[in-house]
Amino acid sequence: MKRLGFFLIALVLVPSPAIAAQIPSSFTFTGSGFGHGVGLSQIGAKGQALEGKSATDILSYYFPSASVTPVADSETIRVNVGHEQSTASISQAPGFAGETMTLTDESGTVNTGSNFSFSISGKKIASGGGSLASLWTVNWSGAVVLHLGSAAMTLKYGQIQLRAVPLTGHGYRIEITDTMRVQDEYLYGISEVRSSWPLEALKTQVIASRTYALARLGAPRKACDCNVYSSKYDQTYIGYAKESEPTYGAIWKSAVDATVVNDSHALAVTFNDQPINVYFFSSSGGATQRSQDVWGTAYPYLISVPDPWSLSDTLNPGYAHWSRTVSQADMAAAFGLPDIAKYAISGRTPSGSVIAVVGYSSNGARVKLSVSDFKTGVKLPSSWFNLPKLVTVQN
pLDDT in tens, 173-200: 999 999 999 999 999 999 999 999 999 9
Q: How far apart are CA 278 and CA 207, in angstroms?
A: 10
Mean per-residue pLDDT, 103-115: 91
Query: What percentage of the chain carries pLDDT values higher than 90?
Result: 86
pLDDT in tens, 364-373: 999 999 999 9
pLDDT band at 11 (very low <50, low <70, confident <90, very high): very low
Residue type, 268: A
CB 228 within 8 A of CB 213: yes
Q: How far apart are CA 130 and CA 112, in angstroms?
A: 15
C-alpha closest to that of 64 among 39, 43, 33, 41: 39
Q: How far apart are CA 276 and CA 230, in angstroms?
A: 20
Q: How many C-alpha atoms does 357 have within 13 Å on its Cβ side?
A: 24
Instruction: Report helix, strand and coil shares of the chain as percent, to nearest 5.
Output: 25, 35, 40
Question: Residue 31: left (phi > 0), alpha (psi -120 to 50), or beta?
Answer: beta
Taking the domains of the chain in order of start, what are their residue ranges? 17-39+279-395, 76-255
pLDDT in tens, 229-287: 999 889 999 999 999 999 999 999 999 999 999 999 999 999 999 999 999 999 999 99
Task: Extract long-range pairs of 386-389: CB within 8 Å, 24+ residues apart.
Answer: 386/29, 386/30, 386/31, 386/345, 386/354, 387/30, 387/31, 387/32, 387/285, 387/352
Average pLDDT taken over every residue of the chain: 92
Q: How far apart are CA 141 and CA 98, in angstroms?
A: 7
Listed in sequence order, the residues at least 6 apart from 140 whose beta carbon sits closer than 8 Å to its beta carbon are 92, 99, 100, 101, 102
Give the single-character DSSP code of 157: S
pLDDT of the residue at 2: 39
What's the Cα-to-Cα distance from 348 to each of 294, 354, 389, 392, rounded to whole Å?
11, 4, 12, 11
Residue 247 DSSP SS3: coil
pLDDT band at 9 (very low <50, low <70, confident <90, very high): very low
pLDDT at 315 over 60: yes
Helices 371-378 and 328-335 cross at an angle (nearest 10°) of 150
Does this model's pTM top 0.85? My answer is: yes
